[in-house]
């Protein structure tokens, strides 16, 4: 305001309009950023579903970018030149950073992670120079954006954990996969030579995903539970390429899948030593910014053959003894299906005549039945277009049928023809469906996912008419990608990252305790114990107690993010993740007794007892 001169009427003095250059309503930018970060932190600390955290974070990033841009571009206190130059610098810099950044970040990472960070730094700079000149703000802002977007070019993401926490490392830092591939290329790979004998399924073997009937159960064994007295003994440990596949143990061999740089591999190891027997490789690679690289599905053994589905849709039939390929199919070419966001994850289901996998092809090429002997596509069935679950064989009222769970719901088809037997439509919320359906002894069927929680279906059958009816739906167990097990009338599994027990008759929670992250569980039924592998690679023994959470023992088996299912076969525990694999001999009950017994008494020469 100009000073009032002597004799001048104060009312006649007018205040000139504010000079463009000082941002008005800066509180709005602060409020937008504050609300954004408050929402993100609240989602992290609340007991929210993974899908809710993910989708809400994406929405919050988009809303922040739009509202912040509107606020800035309509702020008339700032010159038009400064507004548009700074906004263009932000956007063009982000686009350039997305195109030049590591593939694990890309444009998607810039939009959903990089942009909120850039806007936060921008807001901080505006607040710091709120009384500065336009030129100073503009020059400083360009420096800030250069630092932010330039910094993005130096980073890569190594995926996220189950709570969507991002692992970040230097872009050119050597990854575990890089070390593994380099190790294989520079050192002689130790293999077991010998004549390739036919591979035969034996008692106690583990031949498919989650074992017999895909239920994650082990029967007919007894394990020591006092690991302080008789701990598991490590037999071997080795590096392995990234994959979320589990393992098979058949006739002394271990089968699994892994990524070796640009090669996707199915491998056979000696189960006793971990040494490689053979490897079949396909020149394909799949990777995404959340789960990382490598195959997702577990191979299946059936009558001397290994059936595998890779993350890009390569379906192979391999000789289990040699790894020689018998036939191969590309399910994308067969169905024109879109590559799923997190890759094809359907572990092949093999029946006497069919190999059944999921593609999600539309309109009626969701589930596929191939001829087991020659790979010819025999039938297709309509499903939803989003699923990371696997087909499962069941016999209900004496009728063999294949159950499959997708975002459309649960369907049952004839394993030979793919003809629909019955279906149950679930909510189509676009949420991925991962878990296996579970057939109960009383005829009920359990399905679970984040949007539905846990749901029980009761199925009635009269003549040729099948009628599925929802018995109850519960939010007391919300499995994301963690399969559950059932003993008697209790479900044991992960409610997000916390272990819980739920009644199968009512859906009511019995208890919830044990923060093991987003791990997996295996039931040792005769002893009523649960073997849990935590997301951090720790093995935990729990009592399958419907009344309370009781932890019996634990030890660290592997390091790193562990989403793979554990396997016990022939008294040995096999654990793997995306970096390493280990085999442990589990102590027997007899060994535990011997270790716990006091030393035997001996008579000394003087007639006294020594211990």
What mean pLDDT is predicted for residues 135-143? 83
Please give the Cα distance from 432 to 386 (Å, whole number).
Answer: 6
Q: Is the pLDDT of residue 495 over 80?
A: yes
Q: Which of these ranges, 44-58, 317-331, 562-576, has the smallest mean pLDDT?
A: 44-58
pLDDT value of position 591: 77
CA neighbours within 13 Å on the CB side: how many for 598? 4
Q: Is the pLDDT of residue 313 over 60?
A: yes
What mean pLDDT is predicted for residues 447-458? 92
**Dihedral of the alpha carbons of 602, 603, 604, 608, in degrees to the nearest 10:** 120
Q: Identify the CA nearest to 436 among candidates 421, 447, 424, 420.
A: 447
What mean pLDDT is predicted for residues 591-609? 62
What mean pLDDT is predicted for residues 339-350? 95
Domain range annotation of the chain: 18-170
CA neighbours within 13 Å on the CB side: how many for 277? 26
List of residues 6+ apart from 432 with CB closer than 8 A: 51, 342, 386, 387, 388, 407, 449, 481
Q: Which residue has the tokens 């592997």?
A: 558
Task: Tell the burial category of 395 from Cβ atoms under 10 Å away from its Cβ (0-12, 13-18, 19+).
Answer: exposed
Q: Is the pLDDT of residue 562 over 80?
A: yes
Model confidence band, residue 51 (pLDDT cutoffs 50, 70, 90): confident
Read off the tokens for 539.
């093995």
Model confidence band, residue 572 (pLDDT cutoffs 50, 70, 90): very high
- Asked if 231 and 539 count as a contact pair (C-beta separation under 8 A), the reply is no
Model confidence band, residue 293 (pLDDT cutoffs 50, 70, 90): very high
- Asked if 353 and 416 count as a contact pair (C-beta separation under 8 A), the reply is yes
- Asked if 459 and 452 count as a contact pair (C-beta separation under 8 A), the reply is no
Please give the Cα distance from 401 to 410 (Å, whole number).
Answer: 12
Please give the Cα distance from 573 to 564 (Å, whole number).
Answer: 13
Listing from the earlier edge strand, what are the strands of the sheet with 538-543?
Answer: 217-218, 520-524, 529-533, 538-543, 551-556
What mean pLDDT is predicted for residues 486-508? 95
Read off the tokens for 406.
């997708």
List of residues 6+ apart from 337 with CB closer than 8 A: 313, 331, 359, 360, 361, 362, 365
pLDDT tens digits, residue range 453-475? 999 999 999 988 999 999 999 99
The pTM of the full predicted model, rounded to 2 decimals, is 0.88
Buried/exposed code over 524-552 (b: 16+ C-beta within 10 A; e: otherwise): bbebebbbbbbbbbbbbbbbbbbeebeee
- Asked if 404 and 389 count as a contact pair (C-beta separation under 8 A), the reply is yes
Task: Tell the burial category of 599 from Cβ atoms under 10 Å away from its Cβ (0-12, 13-18, 19+).
Answer: exposed
- From the centroid of its chain, how far is CA 59? 21
Q: Is the pLDDT of residue 308 over 60?
A: yes
pLDDT tens digits, residue range 166-181? 888 898 999 989 999 9
How many Cβ atoms from other residues are within 10 Å of residue 358's Cβ?
Answer: 30
List of residues 6+ apart from 275 with CB closer than 8 A: 190, 191, 192, 269
Distances (CA, A) of 485 to 89, 410, 441, 445, 493: 54, 18, 13, 13, 6
The DSSP symbol for 564 reads S
Three-class SS state of 100: helix
**HEC readout, 429-480:** CCCCCCCCCEECCCCCEEEEECCCEEEEEEEEEECCEEEEEEEEEECCCCCC
pLDDT value of position 600: 58
Q: Is the pLDDT of residue 412 over 80?
A: yes
Q: Name the CA radius of gyration of the chain, rounded.
A: 30
pLDDT value of position 21: 57
What mean pLDDT is predicted for residues 97-101? 91
Q: Long-range contacts for 113-117 (Cβ within 8 Å, ≥24 apart)?
A: 113/61, 113/166, 114/148, 114/149, 114/152, 115/61, 115/64, 115/65, 116/36, 116/60, 116/61, 116/64, 116/65, 117/148
Q: Which of these ranges, 122-126, 282-286, 309-313, 358-362, has the smallest mean pLDDT?
A: 122-126
Please give the Cα distance from 180 to 477 (Å, whole number).
Answer: 38
pLDDT value of position 24: 59
Q: Is the pLDDT of residue 607 over 50?
A: no
């Amino acid at each position: 305001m100009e000073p009032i001169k002597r004799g001048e009427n104060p009312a006649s003095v007018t205040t000139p309009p504010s000079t463009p250059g000082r941002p008005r309503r800066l509180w709005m930018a602060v409020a937008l950023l504050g609300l954004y970060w408050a929402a993100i932190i609240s989602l992290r600390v609340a007991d929210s579903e993974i899908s809710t955290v993910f989708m809400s974070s994406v929405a919050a990033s988009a809303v922040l970018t739009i509202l912040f841009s509107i606020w800035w571009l309509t702020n008339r206190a700032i010159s038009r030149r400064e507004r548009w130059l700074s906004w263009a610098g932000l956007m063009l810099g982000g686009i350039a950073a997305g195109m030049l950044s590591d593939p694990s970040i890309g444009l998607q990472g810039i939009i959903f992670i990089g942009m909120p960070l850039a806007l936060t730094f921008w807001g901080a700079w505006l607040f710091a120079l709120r009384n500065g000149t336009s030129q100073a703000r503009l020059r400083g802002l360009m420096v800030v954006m250069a630092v932010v977007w330039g910094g993005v070019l130096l980073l890569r993401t190594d995926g996220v954990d189950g709570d969507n926490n991002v692992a970040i490392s230097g872009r050119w830092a050597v990854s575990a996969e890089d070390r593994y591939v380099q190790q294989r290329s520079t050192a002689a790979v130790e293999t077991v030579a010998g004549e390739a004998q036919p591979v035969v399924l034996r008692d106690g073997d583990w031949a498919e995903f989650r074992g017999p009937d895909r239920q994650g159960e082990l029967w007919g064994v007894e394990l020591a539970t006092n690991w302080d007295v008789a701990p598991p003994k490590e037999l071997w440990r080795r590096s392995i390429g990234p994959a979320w596949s589990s393992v098979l143990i058949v006739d002394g061999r271990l089968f699994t899948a892994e990524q070796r740089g640009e090669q996707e591999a199915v491998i056979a190891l000696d189960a006793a030593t971990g040494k490689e027997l053979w490897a079949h490789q396909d020149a394909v690679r799949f990777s995404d910014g959340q789960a990382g690289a490598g195959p997702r599905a577990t191979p299946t053994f059936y009558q001397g053959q290994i059936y595998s589905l890779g993350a890009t849709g390569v379906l192979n039939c391999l000789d289990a003894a040699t790894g020689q390929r018998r036939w191969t199919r590309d399910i994308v070419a067969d169905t024109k299906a879109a590559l799923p966001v997190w890759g094809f994850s359907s572990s092949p289901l093999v029946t006497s005549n069919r190999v059944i996998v999921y593609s999600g092809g539309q309109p009626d090429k969701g589930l596929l039945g191939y001829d087991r002997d020659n790979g010819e596509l025999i039938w297709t069935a309509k499903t939803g277009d989003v699923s990371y679950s696997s087909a499962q064989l069941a016999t209900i009222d004496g009728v063999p049928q294949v159950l499959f769970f997708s975002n459309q719901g649960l369907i049952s088809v004839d394993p030979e023809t793919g003809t629909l037997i019955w279906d149950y439509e679930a909510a189509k919320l676009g949420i991925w469906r991962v878990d296996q359906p579970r057939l109960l002894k009383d005829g009920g069927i359990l399905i679970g996912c984040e949007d539905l929680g846990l749901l029980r279906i009761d199925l009635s059958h009269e003549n040729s008419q099948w009628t599925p009816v929802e018995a109850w739906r519960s939010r007391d167990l919300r499995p994301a990608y963690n399969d559950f097990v059932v003993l008697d009338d209790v479900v044991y599994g992960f409610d997000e990252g916390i272990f819980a027990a739920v009644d199968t008759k009512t859906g009511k929670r019995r208890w919830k305790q044990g923060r093991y992250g987003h791990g997996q569980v295996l039931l040792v039924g005769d002893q009523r114990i649960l073997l849990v592998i935590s997301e951090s690679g720790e093995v935990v023994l729990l009592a399958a107690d419907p009344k309370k959470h009781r932890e019996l023992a634990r030890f660290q088996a592997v390091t790193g993010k562990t989403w793979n299912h554990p396997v016990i076969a022939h008294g040995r525990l096999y654990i793997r993740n995306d970096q390493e694999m280990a085999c442990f001999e589990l102590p027997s009950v007899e060994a535990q007794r011997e270790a716990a017994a006091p030393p035997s008494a001996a008579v000394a020469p003087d007639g006294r007892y020594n211990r």
